[in-house]
């Protein structure tokens, strides 16, 4: 029986590439036939080279870790062959994908199969034991094989991701529906994984089941744009609000708050509300950016038209002539004023933005 390759190199099973290379070079120098005259050195040198050639390649190392000394008998497409089933439709919006073997998604809307012993659902009568027996030979099996990890998309609105909480999830599989109650942490971000231990593919020969990972997929939102933990939303202002400044409401995923708009603000100016982005259970929360967009009355009344005409006749401001006001500089980030918190009214808070140009901090 061949020695364990990790034992040959004297490294742990979680050794990284640098540790493997360091161990190989040291042992190769010590056992090179030109240096070591021990009759057994040449065989050790060959064994060291074989172990390193397998473990330094990620794909062959993955096979070796999974199947031990029988890894050379495993075909390159073993994952596809083991996971060739799983073609049920439905789910809750995303297909399942195998991780470390056992599954491949049928695309958006696909379900997943039970990768367990016996006859697989979706394998059209193929006995998985026969399939694995054909890979290794009936006498080549080395014991239990762990079930494959599986993945699925978990679509969430920005508000759901912001609040978190318990949620019921139904997954349609080849063998029927499965219901789960999932604890979603507050502030999950796009691409974050939620692990359901032991809910992946079933193991073979008494091996442990794999895990199911739900991959958060934020649904595009008409109001909020999320990047990491930061959230951007449009802050619509009337021309006079932008020119004169004032306190206006702004909607966040956590409810309504108020922000003080500096006088002389222009479209594109961003007001930063510190800590009002996605929550973070392990560190600093994200920020919310209210990006100003000035909106004029689509059908001004006679009085509004009269006032605008009077302003046009009186004002000397001409944005096309390169004149700027304090609110026209919209690039960069500058420190803003202090935050002022008022009493809540229906989830409302008051925030005060600084009076400098650019992105104002609160």
Class of domain 78-218: mainly beta
Q: Could you say which of 3.40.30.10, 1.10.287.110, 3.40.50.1820, 3.40.50.300 is the CATH number of the domain covering 5-56?
A: 1.10.287.110
Domain ranges of the chain: 5-56, 78-218, 224-361
- Per-residue model confidence (pLDDT) at position 79: 58
Domain 224-361 indexed as CATH 3.80.10.10:
no
- Per-residue model confidence (pLDDT) at position 236: 96
Task: Please write down the HEC assignment for all residues of the chain.
Answer: CCCCHHHHHCCCCCCCHHHHHHHHHHHHHHHCCCCCCCCCHHHHHHHHHHHHHHHCCHHHHHHHHHHHHHHHHCCCCHHHHHCCCCCCECCCCCCEEEECCCCCCCCCCECECCCCCCECCCCCCCEHHHHHHHHHCHHHCCCCECCCEEEEEEEECHHHHHHCEEEEEEEEECCEEEEEEEEECCCCCCCCEEEECCCCCCCECCCCCCCEEEEEEECCCCCEEEECCEEEEEEEECHHHHHHCEEEEEEECCEEEEEEECCCECCCCEEEECCCCCCCCCCCCCCEEEEEEECCCCCCCHHHHHHHHHHHHHCCCCHHHCCCCCECCCCCEECCCCCCCCCCCCCCCEEECCCCCCEEEC
What digits encode the pLDDT tens for the residues 14-63?
888 888 989 998 998 898 887 888 888 888 888 888 889 889 888 888 88
- Per-residue model confidence (pLDDT) at position 80: 54
What digits encode the pLDDT tens for the residues 233-274?
999 999 999 999 999 999 999 999 999 999 999 999 999 999
- Per-residue model confidence (pLDDT) at position 170: 86
Fold match between domain 78-218 and domain 224-361: yes
- Per-residue model confidence (pLDDT) at position 322: 65
- Per-residue model confidence (pLDDT) at position 259: 93
- Per-residue model confidence (pLDDT) at position 357: 41
- Per-residue model confidence (pLDDT) at position 88: 28
- Per-residue model confidence (pLDDT) at position 150: 82
- Give every residue of the chain whose pLDDT is below 50, as ranges: 81, 83-131, 134, 136-141, 325-357
């Amino acid at each position: 029986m061949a020695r364990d390759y990790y034992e040959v190199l004297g490294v742990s099973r979680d050794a990284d590439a640098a540790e493997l290379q360091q161990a190989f070079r040291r042992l190769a120098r010590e056992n090179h036939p030109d240096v070591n005259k021990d009759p057994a050195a040449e065989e050790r040198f060959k064994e060291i080279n074989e172990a390193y050639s397998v473990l330094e390649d990620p794909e062959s190392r993955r096979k070796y870790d999974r199947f031990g000394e029988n890894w050379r008998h495993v075909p390159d497409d073993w994952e596809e062959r083991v996971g060739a089933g799983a073609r049920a439709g439905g789910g809750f919006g995303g297909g399942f994908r195998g991780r470390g073997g056992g599954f491949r998604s049928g695309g958006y809307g696909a379900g997943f199969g039970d990768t367990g012993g016996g006859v697989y659902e979706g394998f059209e009568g193929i006995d998985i034991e026969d399939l694995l027996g054909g890979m290794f030979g009936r006498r080549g099996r080395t014991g239990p094989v762990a079930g494959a990890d599986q993945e699925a998309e978990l679509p969430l609105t920005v508000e759901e991701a912001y609040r978190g909480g318990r949620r019921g999830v139904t997954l349609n599989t080849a063998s029927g529906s499965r219901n789960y109650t999932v604890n979603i942490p507050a502030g999950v971000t796009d691409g974050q994984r939620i692990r359901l231990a032991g809910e992946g593919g079933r193991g073979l020969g008494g091996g442990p089941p794999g895990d199911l990972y739900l991959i958060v997929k934020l649904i595009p939102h008409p109001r909020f744009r999320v990047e990491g933990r930061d959230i951007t939303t449009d802050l619509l202002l009337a021309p006079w609000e932008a020119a004169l400044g004032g306190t206006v409401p702004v909607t966040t995923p956590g409810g309504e708050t108020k922000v003080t708009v500096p006088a002389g603000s222009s479209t594109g100016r961003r007001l930063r509300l510190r800590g009002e982005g996605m929550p973070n259970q392990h560190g600093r929360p994200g920020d919310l950016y209210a990006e100003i967009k000035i909106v004029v009355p689509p059908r001004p009344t006679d009085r509004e038209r009269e006032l605008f005409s009077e302003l046009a006749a009186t004002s000397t401001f001409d944005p096309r002539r390169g004149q700027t006001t304090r609110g026209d500089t919209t690039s960069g980030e500058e420190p803003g004023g202090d935050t002022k918190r008022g009493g809540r009214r229906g989830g409302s808070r008051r925030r005060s933005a600084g009076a400098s140009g650019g992105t104002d901090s609160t």
